[in-house]
Structure 1
Amino acid sequence: MRKVTVFFLISTFFLSGCWDQRLYKELSVISVVGIGGHIGELKAYYAYPSSGTDPIQYIVLEGEGKTAREVRIDANKKTEQTMDIAELTTILVSEETAKDDLYALLDVYYRSAQSPMTAKVMVTEGTSKRFLELKETIPKEIGEYYLDFVQSFEDATIFPKTNLEMTANLMFSEGRDLALPYLKTSSDKALPQAEGLALFNGKKYTGKYLTLRESTFATLLGYRKARIVELAYLWNKKGEKVSVAFDVIRFKKKKKVIQDGDNIKIQYKINMPIVMTEYPPDHLDRKQVRKELENFIERSVEKDINRMFKKSQEASSDILGIGEYIRAYHPQLWREGKWKDIYKDIKIEAKVNAEIVRSGSIR
């Protein structure tokens, strides 16, 4: 028995302790970061809770410097505790800043073992600082608020699911471009609102963004349908304005590349079963009425998709990943030249087939 006791006593000296533990009471836990300025003259804003009992109360630290790391060091000097980004949920980048090399701004997060790769990256209209000065209006902890905010748009198939890791992958992809949520707010104390998807060309924001509806179709065509898809239009039917709203049950797409000499055309064929959620004239049990309504929906959706294509091509932003498809299935086109030079001039069109499968909750 004595030998066993001695063995265990000696063994305790070889047991490793929690050498890397970090206590919350010793840290300023950052949940949201705002980035502004340009490399050489950067600013960043770090939000962290200021009360252990009221999560709505928070402090915003401001740092300045020539590099992203120098900015963080500067901000860290202004707090009584050490800044910690292990629970970072959101990185907000000002639109003018995003027009520079975005990866150069985010490199400091990719190289840190503490950085959560699940953090969301968003582009803001104007300074990102304004989006951190909303203490009186945000109903919950600011990091939790922005995370829930963007995830609600992902669930509604308006934004594709992205995070810090996926953002880096798309910045270096040759066949698909990055698109990030674009936010705006009307004043310093107004809640932020989503405007659409900011279009990137490589690592730089192009200065153009899609509307929310165009973003929905970009997500459907370039990624996949998430939990729900809700759409609404106003139909000017024989001089009368009629409300039309529906949910998309499924969204099936087929892509075809047609080459005629130097001319390239890409055709999308889309099948879209829907359920009507608003149509005051009713009588959808009549075949002719349903057909007219389906034709209107098809024309409206095709118009929005074509507008989305035009904006993306003008911005040289291949957010649908058409280049990935070309490289995989038509390598001869990929080898002919730089894909972006080809992408801007190709003709892209969509043909939509909408089918009303349900006209209400009981029909």
Structure 2
Amino acid sequence: MLTIMKKNPIENYVTVDVEEKKRDLKIIKEFNGEYSANIDLTLMLNVVEYPKDTLYIEEHTERLNEAIKNKLQVECEEVIRLIQEANCDYFGIGKHIMAYHYEDWKQMDWEEKYQQMTINTSVETEIIYHGIVTKVANNLVCHDINYSPHPK
């Protein structure tokens, strides 16, 4: 579950559940012999709470999806920065290089290379379900969930 809040948290937030996810990790040996990695993340989302109650309008759903995608992109980039700074190879990039490029692996100082390595992230999101959220006596109540068809 992810909650994103802005200026007025009572009126301006969204809570989503990730219904489906796909992560692709590609490790690339550049022409100069350096390695880089691309992490592509695709998330199918269910909006559980959204007090603005306007997701029945397709344009609003699209704008919310874009805002969530942008927020998650920034968060992913920050996480990558932090784990590289901590020299934590969470995604097993070093194991991949060791397994498939062993001669290169033996010649490198992995701890130093990892911290300087380019790791690109790409986040794609799609809202596939959304709940209708309304205000009742100053309380937020989440009603039934409507299916929002998405093109294939």
Question: Aligning the two structures, in what range does the TM-score lie when normalised by the shorter sequence?
Answer: 0.7 to 0.9
In 2, the alpha carbon distance for the partners of 1:331 and 1:282 equals 55
Aligned to 1:275: 46
Which of 57, 62, 86 is the equivalent residue of 1:315?
Answer: 86
Question: Would the aligned equivalents of 1:309 and 1:348 in 2 still touch at CA under 8 Å?
Answer: yes
- Number of corresponding residues: 132
Report the AA paired with residue 250 of structure 1: E
Deviation digits for residues 304-356 of structure 1 (CA, Å, limit 9, x no counterpart): 11111111111112122221222233435423312212101001121111111
The percentage of aligned residue pairs carrying the same residue is 26
Are residues 358 and 341 of structure 1, via their aligned partners in 2, closer, same or farther at CA, if it must alter by over 3 Å?
A: same
How big is the shift at 1:292?
1.0
Aligned to 1:293: 64
Aligned to 1:253: 23
Aligned to 1:362: 145
Q: Normalized against structure 2, the TM-score is what?
A: 0.76
Aligned to 1:88: none
Unaligned 5+ runs, structure 2: 132-143, 147-152
Q: Normalized against structure 1, the TM-score is what?
A: 0.34
Unaligned 5+ runs, structure 1: 1-229
How big is the shift at 1:272?
0.3
In 2, the alpha carbon distance for the partners of 1:271 and 1:331 equals 31
In 1, the alpha carbon distance for the partners of 2:51 and 2:110 equals 47
Higher relative contact order (CA 8 A, sep 6+): 2
Report the AA paired with residue 112 of structure 2: D
How big is the shift at 1:262?
4.4
Report the AA paired with residue 23 of structure 2: K
Aligned to 1:289, the other structure's residue is in SS state helix
How big is the shift at 1:288?
1.5
In 2, the alpha carbon distance for the partners of 1:235 and 1:333 equals 46
Aligned to 2:127, the other structure's residue is in SS state strand
In 2, the alpha carbon distance for the partners of 1:242 and 1:266 equals 35
Aligned to 2:45, the other structure's residue is in SS state strand
More strand by share: 2
Report the AA paired with residue 145 of structure 2: I
Larger C-alpha radius of gyration, 1 or 2? 1
Report the AA paired with residue 231 of structure 1: L
* RMSD between superposed Cα atoms in Å: 2.2
How big is the shift at 1:236?
5.1
In 2, the alpha carbon distance for the partners of 1:296 and 1:358 equals 16
Deviation digits for residues 109-168 of structure 1 (CA, Å, limit 9, x no counterpart): xxxxxxxxxxxxxxxxxxxxxxxxxxxxxxxxxxxxxxxxxxxxxxxxxxxxxxxxxxxx
